[in-house]
Amino acid sequence: MATLIGREIHLASRPTGWPTPDNFSLVEAPVPAVGPGQVLVRNRFLSVDPYMRGRMNDVKSYVPPFRVGEAMEGGAVGEVVDPGDSALSRGDLVLHQSGWREYAVLDAERTSALPPVPGLSPSVYLGALGMPGLTAYVGLLDIAGMQPGDQVFVSSAAGAVGSLAGQIARLRGASRVIGSAGTAAKVAYVRDLGFDAAFDYHDGPVSQALAQAAPDGIDVYFDNVGGDHLAAAISRLRRNGRAALCGAIAGYNAETPVPGPANLALVITKRLTLRGFIITDHRDRMPDFIKEMSGWLREGNVRFNETYVDGIEHAVDAFLGVFQGTNTGKMIVRLD
Amino acid sequence: MATLIGREIHLASRPTGWPTPDNFSLVEAPVPAVGPGQVLVRNRFLSVDPYMRGRMNDVKSYVPPFRVGEAMEGGAVGEVVDPGDSALSRGDLVLHQSGWREYAVLDAERTSALPPVPGLSPSVYLGALGMPGLTAYVGLLDIAGMQPGDQVFVSSAAGAVGSLAGQIARLRGASRVIGSAGTAAKVAYVRDLGFDAAFDYHDGPVSQALAQAAPDGIDVYFDNVGGDHLAAAISRLRRNGRAALCGAIAGYNAETPVPGPANLALVITKRLTLRGFIITDHRDRMPDFIKEMSGWLREGNVRFNETYVDGIEHAVDAFLGVFQGTNTGKMIVRLD
């Protein structure tokens, strides 16, 4: 049998500030042979996510950095093409972390077949039924402790996590849900998802837009952005308000530290709680989440948009696009 | 009976930035007659506290602002000189909020006699057994959720709240307690109280001093200061660390907003919680606190320093001194 050749994206060099295509390379490499206890999958959908920017730095963080000259990693849904001696079957779909490449060899023991979700693409396991969905669920309900009747503000509300956080808030009884996004089309999309109000943060100071959208203040802020958004939310949070700090995309590509909010003294006078979290600590919530979210998806109560970019040769464009806001909902690289 | 004349401190004008003696006036005024259900007390000890700076501004906050041209308010221990028709007796000591004056007329119904504390001045009810003590207790145990084995950092560790927070941490099983203070003498005092390490924040960047004092990091930060101290603590907090935000004296007299910490992204990656609180929300903890703290004081396990300034004519100096750090422990104005 001829050696199988697969394409994969390597980290070519570490970026300073905004990453550029030069920091990546598309490499053809022989796919390793399938050994005992292994399976070969052909990837169908690759996830590109903001957190991956952090792994491009040579900094020990909550996940180890990518290595220069090696394939990058990330969530992916693949199709089993050689089940080896495992219990899997050819054609089974599996979720794994060997993304950014066309073929992957996986440990069969740590791989199980995904149940199909009627009416939805298997890529849903990278979005609404995957880490972004769990992030929205845990951040809103466990970290921010949202209660029925709360007024909730979500930034990056057209994004994968934000669009789900707002919809979960509504379904769990929030009295008002407000979202921010970066284009007029995204604002329309966010309203269409059922948010009570939405604004384009390019239209003026976030603090003003939020004050108009939430005249009575907010109780919960789901932060995907940091920077001005966090400061505006602190100003707007009511007594005993809570912010779940999930992401700070505003600063991911900054070359020098971004000053923090100048209104932190309000955290004291308004008895606020700001709490950061990393979703991998909360895998124990996956069963509850899957049960509740599957029901919402099945009944059409949650909608989830995916932006597809086709072909591994465009994976880098897709990733860089996340920082420019070219996606609505989850950005997915789709392979043939 | 001749009308009784008492001296009291009025707010003469609202300060911009640092308050000056010109913002206050010492006024002689007739003491109101004691009506039915009222008692007359002569104040013995007046409390001056950093939070009163906020009440000098014309800003609605968690307590209403002082009024220009009227007597200021604050905690005081007074001695009953006319019990009227109440159950109190002449000579009883009472705790109340009509400080900043020599005489006060109080509602008897809301006033009860303080039990004497053997070996301690009755002013202990303004400090170790009063709001500063409760603040230290609740902030450390409830807000920051300190657990045995935690490493704890306390700023303003020679102050009323900070000196108690550090001692409570030790008594409740902290594995290491670190304090910061503003003079070499205060640092020596803090070490003498049983803190494992202490530093003078004037000796260099707080972040460096804290890194040396807490080489393994910290789990809990009790913040009385804000500013550089908070940023340094965020850098030093370990995974799942917690900060109780109690005060931000660094910014109380600032005329323009002070930028927040530039390292807030660490709140996410290290899963930190920053939580503000106001002690008046937590009066329900007073019985537990009094029981535990009384025992510690009785057994000599908690030491508490008071800095006395004598005479109401020096009350303003005492108050302004709190911002300059002229006190070690609780600043008290003592009246004859």
Which residues, at least 6 apart from B157, have a Cβ–Cβ distance to it below 8 Å? B163, B165, B166, B179, B180, B181, B186, B190, B195, B198
Q: Are A309 and A286 in contact (CB under 8 A)?
A: no
CATH 3.40.50.720 positions along chain A are 131-280
Facing residue for A226 by CB, picked from B247, B265, B270: B265
List pLDDT tens digits, range A213-256. Answer: 999 999 999 999 999 999 999 999 999 999 999 987 777 777 77
Shortest CA gap A98–chain B (Å)? 23
> Which pLDDT score is estimated for A1?
56
In this prediction, residue A103 has a pLDDT band, given cuts at 50, 70 and 90, of: very high
Q: Are B13 and B308 in contact (CB under 8 A)?
A: no
> Which pLDDT score is estimated for B249?
75
Architecture in CATH of B5-127+305-334? Alpha-Beta Complex (3.90)
Chain B residue closest in CA terms to A225: B265
List pLDDT tens digits, range B104-157. Answer: 999 998 888 998 888 899 999 999 999 999 999 999 999 999 999 999 999 999
Residue A142 CA to residue A162 CA, distance in Å, equals: 16
pLDDT surpasses 60 at A166: yes
> Which pLDDT score is estimated for B238?
98
Q: Are B31 and B6 in contact (CB under 8 A)?
A: yes
What the block records as the tokens of A226 is 């940091």
C-beta atoms of A269 and B230 within 8 A: no
Shortest CA gap A175–chain B (Å)? 24
Residue B68 CA to residue B54 CA, distance in Å, equals: 14
CATH 3.90.180.10 positions along chain A are 5-127+305-334
Shortest CA gap A15–chain B (Å)? 19
> Which pLDDT score is estimated for B1?
56
C-beta atoms of B262 and A261 within 8 A: no
- Give the 3-state secondary structure of residue A156: coil
Interface of B with A (CB under 8 A): 54, 61-62, 226, 230-231, 245-248, 251, 257-278, 281
Mean pLDDT, range A318-331, rounded to an integer: 91
Q: Are B198 and B159 in contact (CB under 8 A)?
A: no
Preferred mutation among A229, A237, A242, A245 to probe B, highest tally of B CBs within 10 A? A245
Residue B299 CA to residue B289 CA, distance in Å, equals: 15
Q: Are A53 and A74 in contact (CB under 8 A)?
A: no
pLDDT surpasses 70 at A15: yes
Low-confidence residues of chain B: pLDDT under 50: none
CA dihedral of A217, A222, A225, A229, whole degrees rounded to 10: 10
Chain A residue closest in CA terms to B230: A264
C-beta atoms of A273 and B273 within 8 A: yes
> Which pLDDT score is estimated for A3?
86
What the block records as the tokens of B42 is 């002569």
Q: Which of A242, A67, A134, A138 is nearest to B276 (CA)?
A: A242
The CATH code of domain B131-280 reads: 3.40.50.720
CB pairs under 8 A between A and B: 98
- Which residues are bridge partners to A27 per DSSP? A8
Chain B residue closest in CA terms to A239: B62
> Which pLDDT score is estimated for B59?
83
- Amino acid found at A165: A
Q: Which of B24, B211, B47, B10 is nearest to B123 (CA)?
A: B47
List pLDDT tens digits, range A249-299. Answer: 777 777 777 788 999 999 999 999 999 999 999 999 999 999 999 999 999
- Give the DSSP H/E element, type plus range, for residue B95: strand B93-96
Facing residue for B264 by CB, picked from A260, A268, A270: A260
Residue B122 CA to residue B92 CA, distance in Å, equals: 11
Q: Are B296 and B302 in contact (CB under 8 A)?
A: yes
Interface of A with B (CB under 8 A): 54, 61-62, 226, 230-231, 245-248, 251, 257-278, 281
Mean pLDDT, range A121-145, rounded to an integer: 96
C-beta atoms of A262 and B267 within 8 A: no
C-beta atoms of B260 and A261 within 8 A: yes
C-beta atoms of A267 and B274 within 8 A: yes
> Which pLDDT score is estimated for B62?
72
- Amino acid found at B233: A
**Secondary structure (DSSP) of B292-304:** HHHHHHHTT-S--
